Structure 1
Amino acid sequence: MDSIDIFIYVAEILIIVGAIAAILMPLVKSLDNPGSLLKTGVGVAILAVVFFIAYSISDGDVLPKFAAEPFNLTPGMSKFVGGSLITVYGLFIVAVVGIVLTEINKAIK
């Protein structure tokens, strides 16, 4: 094994450990305040609804060049990717509008 291979495996392990810690640590901390779990649950539910709406309006059309090797893209996968992209675009627009409105509000005060 080359040293680059070893570093790639170590990086993958560290990413997995970091992801697990990022998920578990807030859950452990929120046991002190169960109300925060409710707020988190509402946020996750809102994101799920936004994704469902975006998934519903996306189409599953696949161009022939993407249906063949090496992509093997199915209409279901295409619909999922389209829904994910629409969700990201929508949340990006909401974030930018929120930042602009916050700055305008701070400038007025």
Structure 2
Amino acid sequence: MTVEEILRKDALSYIDEHIENIEFDNDMSDYSFRILYKNGNMDSVVGNDYDGHKIARINIESIVIDNPCTSMVYGNYNINEYGVVNPAHEMFIDSNIKEN
């Protein structure tokens, strides 16, 4: 698992690219993104499962973008014991991460 911290503008650009690829019928099944907003609400698109809703671009606390090799993050995140990266209000990395 590799975690790469990126800028907000880059994260939003990756999200735009993900949605555009879905609109052009490209297979995005190995990709996803999750956004945590400052009010605690979440938004996500997993693979090709996008319903056309508007992705809010303000009051973003954290973004995690996953591809087969890397989790790219903007803002705080946590990593659970299985190495899964999630957006979070505070940083946390489980000290008991299980290696495959």
Highest RCO, 1 vs 2 (Cα 8 Å, sep ≥ 6): 2
Taking structure 1 as the reference length, what is the TM-score of the superposition?
Answer: 0.25
Taking structure 2 as the reference length, what is the TM-score of the superposition? 0.27
Q: Higher Cα Rg: structure 1 or 2?
A: 1
Task: Flag the structure with higher helix content.
Answer: 1
